[in-house]
Structure formats: C-alpha cells, structure tokens
C-alpha cells in the first residue's frame, strides 16, 4: 500500500513524464517543418518512450492501492532559434527529470517503501542513459558548428545513435 506522500510524489512524476512526452512531440514537430526528418523521427520515438514511462508509473500507482491522477499539463515550447538550442533545452529537461526521480527515491527510502524504491531503480538507470544520449548529441552538434553538410549527416545519422551506458555496460 502506498502512503499518501509517496502516492502524491508518484502522481507528480506521472505529470512530469507526460510533459516530457509533449516536449519531445513539440520538438519533433519543429524539426519536421524545418526539414530535419532524422531529428523529427528521433523526437517522435522519444515522445513515445516518455509516454511509456508515464504509463508504467500509472500502472504501478494503481496496482499498489493508490489512484493515478491524470492532470493538466504545462504547454511545451514549440519554437527554437536553432536545433542546437532545442537539444540544449532537451538536455536541461532530462537533468530536471533525473533530479525529480532522485527526490522520489529519497522519499521512498525515508518512508521505508522498498517496493517503490526497487521499482524506481529502473527510472534511475533510464535517466543515466537519457542524459548520456543528450550529452552525446550536444557533443556532436558542437563538432558540426555551422557546417550545413555536417548538419545533413547528423540528421541522417541520429536514427542510428547508440550510447554505451557505463551503468549498464551495453549499447542502447
């Protein structure tokens, strides 16, 4: 059974994951209309993943005797000055999500809710990978600079992006 404070914290995370899905979806739309089909495809896929993360939380809350709440979402930014700025915002957002997950883990330990703590370990690992992917993308963008040919190749190759995660010891 979930305590009320853990149920509230998990419901807050459900909203964050839903907003993350919307943020990626807005980025996909922006990239698509700018002709960055590879980036758009990557963002659509990330949007789906974030929605899956939300649903996993929803099911967990409901299965543990809580009631998952679907709340109003903050509208995402829909325009960017550059694709570099877009990926910088994405990285900042992933750092924010990691901090939120860490707070949840802390609450679960404080309340000795080891089932929730165990469940959240998947999110901890996932966030390590999400941040690593965003950092790798920013590194590649910085290498490209203002080279249009580099941007073309980046857009084509982002679909095949893999990052070897130190925590998992495998490529994703």
- Binding site: which residues? 17, 50, 53, 94, 127
Nearest to 132 by CA among 103, 168, 106, 82: 168
Distance, in Å, from the CA atom of 52 to the CA atom of 26, rounded to the nearest integer, reads: 17
Binding site residue list for Fe cation: 17, 50, 53, 94, 127
Terminal Cα distance for the chain, rounded: 34
Nearest to 46 by CA among 131, 130, 142, 135: 130
Distance, in Å, from the CA atom of 10 to the CA atom of 65, rounded to the nearest integer, reads: 13
């Amino acid at each position: 059974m979930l305590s009320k404070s853990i149920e509230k914290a998990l419901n807050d995370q459900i909203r964050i994951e839903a907003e993350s899905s919307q943020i990626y979806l807005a980025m996909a739309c922006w990239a698509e209309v700018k002709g960055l089909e590879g980036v758009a495809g990557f963002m659509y896929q990330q949007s789906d993943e974030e929605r899956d993360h939300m649903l996993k939380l929803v099911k967990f809350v409901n299965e543990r005797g809580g009631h998952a709440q679907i709340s109003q979402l903050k509208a995402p930014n829909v325009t960017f000055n550059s694709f570099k700025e877009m990926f910088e915002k994405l990285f900042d957002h992933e750092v924010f999500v990691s901090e939120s997950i860490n707070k949840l883990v802390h609450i679960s330990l404080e309340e000795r809710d080891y089932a929730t703590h165990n469940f959240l370990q998947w999110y901890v690992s996932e966030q390590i990978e999400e941040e690593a992917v965003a950092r790798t993308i920013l590194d590649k963008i910085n290498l490209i600079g203002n080279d249009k040919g580099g941007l073309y190749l980046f857009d084509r190759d982002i679909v095949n992006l893999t990052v070897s995660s130190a925590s998992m010891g495998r490529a994703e």
